[in-house]
Structure 1
């Protein structure tokens, strides 16, 4: 039996948390010892790692403080590369939209590369690499 619904829900809850300025919801999708890295553009340097749930929570909280727009993370084409009883590997497309002053624009496209772990029966992100095609 696949854990696809639970894994996809964790991916989408993290996106929804960002869009709704709910850093606790975002953080809850990550394992205690999770790591997050990011790369902007093909030749961009790797940013991070941000290690641990609290560091990932702080990263998102700090990012949200400076934003004046409404973001919408559209996550699609979720592929589960590998899955066992307690771990999974996924790849998903990201389209990042910005709504401000009555206008909507695409900020970037990209993807998430996630490794999941089962934590007390709940699927959580153990590692996440965010790749953005364009800087925003």
Structure 2
């Protein structure tokens, strides 16, 4: 039986995981490094919420995360699950994944929000990077 071709799933998962880990560990450089130089990011909170952004370019995305982290007093944990690779070519991929956002503070843990990511990734050299990200949150936090 012929072997199935390898996909880039593990590499894509690592890119998405590093972006989440960077936020959780207050490492905005790690977050930004997961995006292309020309990446765009938007966000929507609630079905009727307005679109926030776009944040255009790695530098703007870096600033957004730095400002958000500077305003926090809690420890965030971004849990990404149910990753689906909707489309994949040799150098691009479209994904959706669920997000559960937890907060740890004062000896307690609570769910801040749930939602999802829609990401467009591109392969640059040997590295998969996020070219476009839309974040949807069910509730504000």
Q: Report the TM-score when normalising by structure 2.
A: 0.96
Equivalent pairs counted in the alignment come to 136
Unaligned 5+ segments in structure 1 are: none
Unaligned 5+ segments in structure 2 are: 1-5
Distance of 1:90 and 1:57 partners within structure 2? 22
1:98 aligns with 2:130: no
**2:138 aligns to what?**
133
1:25 aligns with 2:30: yes
Of 79, 84, 87, 1:79 maps to 84
1:50 aligns with 2:55: yes
Shift, 1:81, TM fit? 0.3
Distance of 2:69 and 2:103 partners within structure 1? 13
Q: Report the TM-score when normalising by structure 1.
A: 0.99
Of 52, 74, 86, 1:69 maps to 74
**2:123 aligns to what?**
118
**1:7 aligns to what?**
12
Higher-Rg member (1/2): 2
Q: 1:110-129 CA distances to partner (integer Å, 9 max, x unpaired)?
A: 00000001112210000000
Where do 4+ consecutive residues of structure 1 move more than 2 Å?
Answer: none
**2:3 aligns to what?**
none
